[in-house]
Structures are given as structure tokens and as C-alpha cells.
Structure 1
Amino acid sequence: MYFVKSPFFLRWLYPRSIWHMPRSEKKVYLTFDDGPIPEITPFILDILKKYQVKATFFCVGENIKKNPHLFQRILQEGHQVGNHTYNHLKGWDIDDDSYIDNVAQCQELTQTDLFRPPYAKAKKSQLKKLYNNYRVVMWDVMSGDFDQSLSPEKCLQNVIPNIQNGSVIIFHDNIKAIPRVEYALPKTIEFLLANQYQIERFE
């Protein structure tokens, strides 16, 4: 179960997290979770370069370790990176100290003040500690690209009608998402540019 639009009760539970950026500006923020991996990260980077837009990649530490050349390419091409834990941990299933240590292990590689909890599932006690050092970025438009029962066309339909000024859009930089990302990402960017949205990375 996942929410295409971030529900009010989650925003109420985690009010210090960033769910969207200011609605007053016609800007949107493309974000990618879980990479970098050789199967899809180069495609994503090629598409971003083709359309000359920048994005934010919430990277998993062990994937950075396995694919340092891809991590360097993300940085060299002007994109932002965020911390997504070292082992893609679900905070609900682990004690606070172990979770914070895992984030710190990833931080040695990412050196960023941006964090996104995998699955959006972190305990309030864990986030309370992380807020001291990180901007915790959630989302307000979830593509659902990781859902292998979802058609590429439906993935695109999850995104386009839900975009607003300031939207934070999540795609996934992982193997499960490949056919949906390949279809929906370029079409999303084309829609945004055609409708005069500025596509931004987090600074």
C-alpha cells in the first residue's frame, strides 16, 4: 500500500518534514530514490541531460560503494544527492541507535544535509534526532514506479494530474521501476517543460 498523494495525516504526524516546496512558485522538484545502480541510473542521467534539468538523488550507501563511478557522475552533472540510509532500512523495524548509525554510515559517502527515510517509514523518535542535522524530504507526488503490477501508462497518470506548484515528485532508481521510469520520466519532463514549470534540485 502506498499513497500517490501524501495524505494529510502523514503530514500532520511529521510536520517538520518537507512534503512540498512553496506553492507560490511554478517550480517542481524531481527526486530519485535507491540508486545508484548500473541498470537504470545511466538512463535517468541521460534523460536529465537531454532535457537539461537537474534533480536530487537520494542514494543508498551500499549502492554508492558498489557503483562509485555512477555516484561521481551524478555529482559531476550538477545534481544534488541525499542520504537514504546505508542499507535501505525501514526505521519501524529497527532500534533508534542502529538506524541513526546506519544513516551516519551513508553520510560518510553522501556528505549532505538532505535525508529521506526509505519507505517513508521512520519512527518519530528517529526523525527527532535526524532533524538536528538534516532536512527530511518526503513527497507530495508518488509515481508508484516500483509497483510491478502498475502499467507504465498508469504510472504516468499517477504523476501528471497531481502536480502542483512546489510538488516534490518521487521516481525510483531501482530495478523494479525500470519499465515505468523509462516510459514515464521523459513524458513527465516534457509535460512540465511544456507547461512552463521550472524543474529544480534541492539546494
Structure 2
Amino acid sequence: MSYKILEEYTQPLVDNIKDNYLSILKNVGEDPKRDGIVKTPERAAKAMQFLTQGYEMDAEQILLGAMFEEDYEDMVLIKDIELYSLCEHHILPFFGKVHVAYIPDGKIVGLSKIPRVVDVFARRLQVQERLTRDILDAINKTLQPKGVAVVIEAQHMCMMMRGVQKQNSATTTSGFRGQFKESETRNEFLKLIS
């Protein structure tokens, strides 16, 4: 039995990006006609289009598509959401985990929509600080909950592979709105994700 992964690409965009990757390969001294490299520009172009598909997505529409009235007033926590993004400074990956919590105010959202919101903003050229705020603000604006919390823990290849070359470093960013600004609620959230 076999399976097929459906990936869609905009061919004119792939062709344009492919030409740029071909130029890069030549400029770094690689032979673009070498057997292992011949298809690399097209593969890299498709990868770049996939890794930046967040520009074509709308977090608000994702959340609105699965929002439900519900009389639930306690914390909803989705933790350890896998994160993969590209640093806008070097176009190198950063990766880690995202923890998101909200306290509903009459509306909840389908649980799978929170990781999708993470991907909307992660699949763009990013800095971790803005990524944290983007996720937080999208959930806060659309759901209008009593509070929202986001913590991101990530490792950055731009720090690991080049520059300071610190392989064991990690960066943590956080953002809090509403009731999560109160120390008791924030501390409960932080305890649950530790």
C-alpha cells in the first residue's frame, strides 16, 4: 500500500525561486550540472514556497472556522506544539515548542486550530519575539477570551551553526494578555508547562 502527500505549488513562483537558487549554487562554486545537484534548485524552491506558505494564510479565518459557544471558564492549554520557522536575519531554521493557553469568555475553538495558528505565523520569515506576539494577538483578537498566554522555547541554527556557535543555547519568549497578567494565573500556566 502506498500513500501520496499532496503538495501544491505555484509553478511561476517555483521557476523564479529556482533560478535564484541556481545562481546561488554557481556563486558559491558548485557545479549545477553535477548529478546530485541538478534538481536541487527546484527542490529548494519548492521547500522555500512550503516554508513560507504562512503569508497566504489567515489566522483569524482559521479560528473563526471552528469557534463554538461554550460555558467554560477555566484555562485551556495546548502545550508542546512543534515549531519550525526560518529566521529572517539569516534564513536559517529555528525550531522548538510553543505552549498556548486561553481562558474562554463564552467561546472556545477547536483544539487543532491553535497549532494551525502557530503554523500560520511560523511559516513566514520570523524572529521569535514577533512570532510570540503574532500568535498571542491573533488568538486574543479573534476569540476575545478573558486571557491568553504564549511561551515559545526554541533553538536557532543561526546561533548554532554560525556566529557564536553555541549548540546548547535556547531562547524563551513569552507573552500574556488579560487574566494571565495576574501572577496567580500566570504561575499556574507556567507550572503546567514546566
- TM normalised by structure 2 equals 0.29
Which gives a bigger RCO, structure 1 or 2 (Cα 8 Å, sep 6+)? 1
Q: Which has the higher strand share?
A: 2
- TM normalised by structure 1 equals 0.28
Higher Cα Rg, which structure? 2
